[in-house]
A and B are shown apart, each in its own frame.
Chain A
Amino acid sequence: MEEKVLEILEEYCEEAISYTGDNMMEEGVIDSFTVINVVSELEDVFDIEIDAKYVVAENFRNKEAIIELVRQLTEE
């Protein structure tokens, strides 16, 4: 699962892979447009529905947080 998430991130936002901070959205590493594309791709690949309430800076602060979000939603 982790690998797939990283693949998607690499496709849409290479910078997110090398980013080591914890505020990717506010620092402009990943913009809202890319977030939408990443969310849409994650939904298709993992057959999950990511509600707007999960699309917050906290869940997109770095790649680990995104992996954690996907893990949580796939387990639900």
Chain B
Amino acid sequence: MQFLSAAFIILWVISFALYYLAPKTRQWMILAVASGLFYVAGTGGIPIGILLTGAGAYACGLYLKRSLAAQKHALSDLADKEEKKAVKLGFERRRRRVQILYFVYSLGILLCTKYMVVILPFLRQMGMTTSRSDAFFERVVMPLGISFYTLTAIGYVVDVGREQCGAQENPVKLFLFLAYFPAITQGPFNRFAKLQGEFEREHVFDYERMLFGVQRFVWGAFKKLVIADRINLFVGNVFGSAQEGIPGSIYAAAVVLYMLQLYADFSGYMDMALGISETFDIALPENFKRPYFSKSVAEFWRRWHITLGTWFKDYVMFSFVMSGTGRKIGKAAKKRWPGFGKHVTGVIGTMLVWLLTGMWHGRTASYILWGVYYGIIMCVSLVLERQYGIWREKLHIKGGKCYSLFAVVRTCAIVFVADVLIRAESLSQAGEIYRAFFMDFRLKEGILGVTDWGLSRYGFLLLAAACLLWLAVSIWEERGKDVRRTLAACPMAVRWCCYYGVALVLLITGIYGGSYDTAAFLYQSF
């Protein structure tokens, strides 16, 4: 079930009505049932993956809770400091073992599922599958949102162990946390302490909040249908073309448009997810903060898919650096290289995070390369940050508007190079594209032939108008203003003109039907 489908809208409207009619202490149940229905409809089969991962997280959470309580009890009986330390260490070790066991278990399910697509054709070739086993894998082993709920569940287990939240004793409530339907497909990644608090709060119907939620959903649909799906007509044709000798200028246009498509598609989904959740008075974390306004790659990744970045930083990077191994490496490096040594664990942690981020996004070597590329850029920029400051001072660069614009363009250029890797159909096509940029750009031919790739002159004009509107809204938001509140303060006639205007634009200029599946979001495949 997709957000942009009649079935989903019906589910949303019915659960919304029941949610505010239900007793305040039972509202979470409506969300749990709606999430269950959404999940089963989306998977089209038995949701065994999420049940296995969820059951493991539930059991692990309870074990950690009991172990922490037993530790407190045992420590309260002791007076000697050394003895206390030893007892605490014993409990900590046992908890860590259980947590590691859970990580292996849940990541094992994730990896088996993710790489089943690679393994299954191989098993088929060897004659090791039957039509029944194929059907089983298709229905059971490809669960919806597995990458999202697996990381969310791991985060929950770590947080319980770190005493940053209590363990959930109600398995249905834990299921709701993992499978909350606005977030299950592509995120944002939620933290248990925060989202659980939202579910347990009493929610009273508020007309303005409902209106704001719907507005945000429609804005997300606008970005998806009018911008992302329109761009796909061009980008899909260029990258999917078997034609040889495509000018570098056409490839350059396709990559720039792909950067916009990916952003419009993913942030459009997030607007829809956050808008739906807002109508239920459940606040989800923001996942985008206008990333293409960033002045550095580090800033770009603080503004793009924010909750994934925070997840990797909190649960991978800091866990590694503060672990026994991380500390040993850090101390040895500081001794060996007094200046650079202090950066070594940070560099290893950053590379580890980016390698895993690449693997999380895709199965191919292109994604690994993409991760390594970002890892190297992040490490170099962070290690040399102080040096950059000295250079800027020497060159009398004071960071005015011109420098800011240059920094934004530089960041976009770095992202541009990376996006070739993940959008090209293969590594060899990516190589051909890079070659064409430098050896075969043919600007004039590109300009004259740009409308031959699935997007007409009218299509480009429409796209430009939509992007300008998007840019205006983004600049408004970047200045700390809320577009919806600004609109709410306008006279009724202006407001309704805007509503009808956006609805008409969506209906007339959105890309619907045909051979292209409008409802499929790009990030769903990650």
Using a CB–CB cutoff of 8 Å, the interface residues on chain A facing chain B are: 26, 28, 31-33, 35-37, 39-40, 50-53, 55-56
The CA-CA distance from A19 to B342 in the complex, in Å, is: 24
Whether A52 contacts B343 by the Cβ 8 Å rule is no
Please state if B298 and A52 are interface contacts (CB–CB under 8 Å). no
Interface centre among B298, B321, B350 (most CB of A within 10 A): B321
Q: By the criterion CB–CB under 8 Å, are B317 and A53 in contact?
A: no
Q: Which of A32, A37, A55, A56 has the most CB of B within 10 A?
A: A32
Consensus secondary structure, chain A interface? helix
Listed residue (A33, A52, A55) with the most chain B CB atoms within 10 angstroms of its CB: A33
B318:A55 contact, CB within 8 angstroms: yes
Contact of B321 among A36, A53, A56 (CB under 8 A): A36
B313 and A32: CB pair below 8 A? yes
Given the interface pairs A53-B162, A53-B163, A56-B164, the reply to whether A33 lies near B322 with Cβ below 8 Å is no
Instruction: For B319, list chain A residues within 8 Å (CB).
Output: 52
Report chain B residues within 8 Å CB of A56. 164, 314
Considering the chains assembled together, what is the distance between the CA atoms of A28 and B322 in angstroms? 21
Which listed residue, B163, B298, B322, B345, touches A31 by the CB 8 Å rule?
Answer: B298
Residues of B within 8 A of A35 (CB): 318
Contacts of A50 in B (CB 8 A): 322
Taking A36-B318, A36-B321, A52-B321 as given, write out 11 further A-B residue pairs in contact, using a Cβ cutoff of 8 Å, ordered by the A residue number: A28-B302, A32-B317, A33-B350, A33-B383, A35-B318, A37-B342, A37-B346, A40-B330, A50-B322, A52-B318, A55-B322
**CB closest residue in chain A, given B289:** A26
Answer whether residue B323 sits at the interface, using C-beta atoms and an 8 A cutoff.
yes
* Contact between B299 and A52, CB atoms less than 8 A apart: no
Q: Contacts A28-B299, A33-B343, A39-B322 given: A52-B162 contact, CB under 8 Å? A: yes
- Could you tell me if B322 and A52 are in contact, using CB atoms closer than 8 angstroms? yes
Q: Does B349 contact A (CB under 8 A)?
A: yes
Query: 0/1 per residue, B383-403, Cβ < 8 Å to A?
Result: 101000000000000000000
Shortest distance in angstroms between A59's beta carbon and chain B's nearest beta carbon? 11
Contacts of A32 in B (CB 8 A): 313, 317-318, 346, 349-350
- Shortest CB-to-CB span from A38 to chain B, Å, is 10
Q: How far is the CB of A11 from chain B (nearest CB, A)?
A: 10
Number of A-B contacts (CB under 8 A): 49
Q: Determine if B29 is an interface residue (Cβ-Cβ < 8 Å).
A: no
Inter-chain CA distance A39–B322, complex, in Å, is: 9
Whether the Cβ atoms of B314 and A36 lie closer than 8 Å is no
Residues on B with C-beta less than 8 A from A51 are 322
Complex Cα–Cα for A26 and B318 (A): 15
A41 to B93, CA, bound (A): 26
A-B contact pairs, 22 of them (CB 8 A): A26-B302, A28-B302, A31-B298, A32-B318, A32-B346, A32-B349, A33-B346, A33-B350, A33-B382, A33-B383, A36-B321, A37-B342, A37-B346, A39-B322, A40-B330, A50-B322, A52-B162, A52-B318, A53-B163, A55-B314, A55-B318, A56-B314
List the A side residues contacting B330 at CB < 8 Å: 40
Give B497 Cβ to nearest chain A Cβ, in Å.
37
Distance of A67 Cα from B321 Cα, bound (Å) = 21
A36 nearest in chain B by CB position: B346
How long is the Cα–Cα vector from A55 to B164 in the complex, in angstroms?
Answer: 12
* B313, B317, B322: residue with the most chain A Cβ atoms closer than 10 Å: B322
Distance between Cα atoms of A28 and B162 in the complex (Å)? 24
Closest to B382 in A: A33
Residue of B nearest to A37 (CB): B342
Known A-B contacts A52-B318, A52-B322, A56-B314; the reply to A40 vs B164 at CB < 8 A is no
Contact A36/B349 with A28-B299, A31-B298, A52-B323 known, Cβ cut-off 8 Å = yes
> When chains A and B are docked, how far (Å) is the Cα of A32 from the Cα of B342?
13
- 1/0 contact trace for B430-464 toward A, CB 8 Å? 00000000000000000000000000000000000
Contact B346 A28 (CB under 8 A): no
How far, in angstroms, from A31 to B302 measured CA to CA in the complex? 10
Nearest CB of A to B317, in Å: 6
Interface string of B155-188 (1 = CB under 8 A from A): 0000000111000000000000000000000000
Q: Which residue of B lies closest to A27 (CB)?
A: B302
The answer to whether B313 and A40 have CB atoms under 8 Å apart is no
**With the chains together, A15 CA to B323 CA distance in Å?**
28
A56 and B318 CA atoms in complex are apart in Å by 9
Q: What CA separation (Å) do A52 and B313 show in the bound complex?
A: 11
Is there an interface contact between B382 and A31, defined as CB atoms closer than 8 Å? yes
* Cα(A33)–Cα(B377), bound, Å: 13
Chain A residues with CB under 8 Å of B350's CB are 32-33
Among B75-116, those with CB < 8 Å from A are none
Q: Give bound CA distance, A51 to B300, whole Å.
A: 28
Residue among A35, A52, A55, A56 with max Cβ neighbours from chain B (10 Å): A52
A28 touches B314 (CB 8 A): no
Q: B464-506, CB under 8 A of A: which get 1 and which 0?
A: 0000000000000000000000000000000000000000000
- Nearest CB on A from B75, distance (A): 12
Take A28-B302, A32-B317 as given contacts and tell me if A53 and B164 are in contact as well, using a CB distance cutoff of 8 Å.
yes
Nearest B residue (CB) for A50: B322
- Residues on A with beta carbons closer than 8 Å to the beta carbon of B318: 32, 35-36, 52, 55
Q: For A35, A40, A56, which residue has the most chain B Cβ atoms within 10 angstroms?
A: A40
B335 → chain A, closest Cβ, in Å? 12
Q: Please give the distance in Å from A33's CB to the nearest CB on chain B.
A: 4
Q: A52-B162, A52-B322 are in contact. Are A40 and B298 (CB under 8 A)?
A: no
Among residues of A, the one whose C-beta sits closest to the C-beta of B162 is: A53
